[in-house]
Amino acid sequence: MSIQDFSPNRRALLGLLPAAVLAKHGFAQNAGFRPTPLPKGQTRTVKLAVGGIADVPHLAVWYAKYSGLFDELKADGINVEVVAFGGGSEWLLALTSGKIDMAHGYYENGVRARSQGRDVILIDNIMATPGFLVVLRKGLSDKVKSVADTKGLAWGISSLGSGTHAVSLRVIKSFGLDAKDVRFVSVGGTTGYIPSIREGRVDVLTASFSAASTLIKEGSGTLLLDVDQAAAVEKIYHHPYMGPGILTSRAYAEQEPYVTLRVVAAVRKSIAILKHTKPADVAKILPPEFHSDTLEDGIADSISNFTADGVISLDAATAMIGDMSDIKLGKGGVEPADTFDNRFVLAVKQGV
């Protein structure tokens, strides 16, 4: 992204900013960003969280792990340890408390943390859609024809404040409902999606493509809304969506710029390979806990929603933050340009 990509008014505004500020947020293409490699003999262990256990929306990270792309970083002194959490609220707490260094999760989580004064930034915009489907429990189809009919029902999400919660709030608002019109129920992350519908603990569920597809295929639920396709996202949000990506703290990115860059480069390489690999071949490298009748469909779905280069748009960030304020998930007062840093994806794009 360059300043020329923005509207005349925004270009004029950015033109008033010091070069150092532009470089900080990745708006300057030629900012001289060349992190120094680790001194010979030094090593770093990077704890990279994912907000789901054996969950395909995190495919870019899982493929980097199981294909050996992260192992290649050991030659640079970098050891990547992937840590799975049940949901976004859990890894967010771990990130802001310093227990992990980076995470593959939802931009909304980062915005919520920033609104609370915590240090979280997005450094790679990986997915262009939320990757969720909204499923209706079996037996309710006669009286629930759309999201507008879910008033008074129990709506399952991974946890309060998570990506599923933020997306669900935006969905119900787009259908004329308010947060108080449904009863949100935390189902405990990805491992709780399927049981929550099977056992009748929730009536509606916002879940990953894989979990939702399993429920639909087995007849435990029916599709109420697809929030995974670009057309649906445009209808609900009316602007480009910033989905799962790589987040970290600005403190960590400044302290370990080379390590951060190399991890982002490995994830970007993973995406580039996935875009040209058959889902069946991708499935072969994933361990047994990933395998299901819907795995290949889930892989294909994730691949179709990867962004081209991970560059983060200031306009999209501004719109997303407006959404968060609109659904009252966060304290507000967040400066969009403070929520992301494009230097790493731009460096990868330029072959640094």
SS (HEC) of 137-190 = ECCCCCCCCCHHHCCCCEEEECCCCCHHHHHHHHHHHHCCCCHHHCEEEECCCH
The confidence score (pLDDT) of residue 107 equals 93
Q: How far apart are the first and last CA of the chain?
A: 16
Domains and CATH numbers, the chain: 33-128+241-349 (3.40.190.10), 132-237 (3.40.190.10)
Question: pLDDT digits over 132-169, tens only?
Answer: 999 999 999 999 999 999 999 999 998 888 889 999 99
Greatest Cα pair distance, the chain, in angstroms, is 66
The confidence score (pLDDT) of residue 140 equals 97
Q: Is the pTM of this model over 0.75?
A: yes
Closest among 319, 339, 331, 324 to 169, alpha carbons compared: 324
Question: pLDDT digits over 246-263, tens only?
Answer: 999 999 999 999 999 999
Question: pLDDT digits over 165-185, tens only?
Answer: 999 999 999 999 999 999 999
Is residue 52 predicted with pLDDT exceeding 80? no
d(CA 46, CA 48): 6
Tokens standing for 116?
Answer: 């609370």
The confidence score (pLDDT) of residue 155 equals 98
Residues 328, 351 contacting (CB under 8 angstroms): no
The confidence score (pLDDT) of residue 169 equals 94
- When mean pLDDT is compared across 53-62, 74-83, 240-249, 275-284, the lowest value belongs to 53-62
d(CA 241, CA 178): 21
Closest among 131, 99, 96, 105 to 51, alpha carbons compared: 105
Closest among 181, 201, 183, 184 to 192, alpha carbons compared: 201
Question: pLDDT digits over 286-326, tens only?
Answer: 999 898 888 999 999 999 999 999 999 999 999 999 888 76
